[in-house]
Amino acid sequence: MPPSPYHHGHLRQALVDAAEVAVRDGGPSALSLRDLARRVGVSHNAAYRHFAHRDDLVTEVALQAMAHLLDTMERRLARIRTEDPVLRARQRLAEVGRGYVEYALAEPGLFSLAFSSSSALAQAGDSADRDPYALLGRVLDELVDVGFLAPGARVGAEIVCWSGVHGFSELCVSGALGATTADDRDVALDRVLVAIDRSFAATSGAVVGPEDLRF
């Protein structure tokens, strides 16, 4: 879908929106300020007044991609209706993981761009309400609060979860799982999430019953 026409006074956002379309269509390498200026219908000098370097635009688009990723996670969390606090916390962690993979599959180019920009990651980290990593941290804190994850095991738990779902996402987007059917992929992802769930239960001696992390 082509970007929205440029309207006077909104060139910066028009360039970001056009860049998002370009990355969606052609991956991160498709992002070029000169090409984007042409798409939007302005001179490249006008574009450079808003983004002096390509990296500045990459940062802005990556931040927008992370905001979309966070929205995907939060939409999945909003569906949880379980009242049991322990099961609810466990389901919330699983849905954060599923939301991460869902976004990666829906927007592979933007997903790749989002985590290629150290500047965007740093800026997102400065604002907890726009940082997917901070959301993961809050959900892990909930697991500690309900007694499912031992406090001593909480340290570094973000890396355990992030590595699992990010690696799985990469395998699906550009690796060995790329040709897997959606049903088989869901089964494989469930195994990853259940393994993380069981490992966290072991830290506190929690008894994990037959509850399904799907709801």
Are 80 and 36 in a shared domain? no
Which pLDDT score is estimated for 48? 76
Total structural domains in the chain? Answer: 2
**What is the sign of the dihedral through the CA atoms of 145, 148, 149 and 151?**
positive
Are 37 and 70 in a shared domain? no
Q: Which two tokens stand for residue 134?
A: 């901070």
How many angstroms from the chain centroid is the CA of residue 146?
25
Are 116 and 142 in a shared domain? yes
Which pLDDT score is estimated for 181? 94
Are 123 and 197 in a shared domain? yes
Are 67 and 46 in a shared domain? no
Q: Which domain holds residue 120?
A: 62-204
Are 96 and 188 in a shared domain? yes
Are 29 and 88 in a shared domain? no
Q: What is the mean pLDDT of the segment spanning 53-61?
A: 85
Answer yes or no: is pLDDT of 209 > 90.
no
**How high is the mean pLDDT of the chain?**
88
Biggest distance spanned by C-alpha atoms of the chain = 64
- Give residue-wise pLDDT tens across range 187-201: 999 999 999 999 999
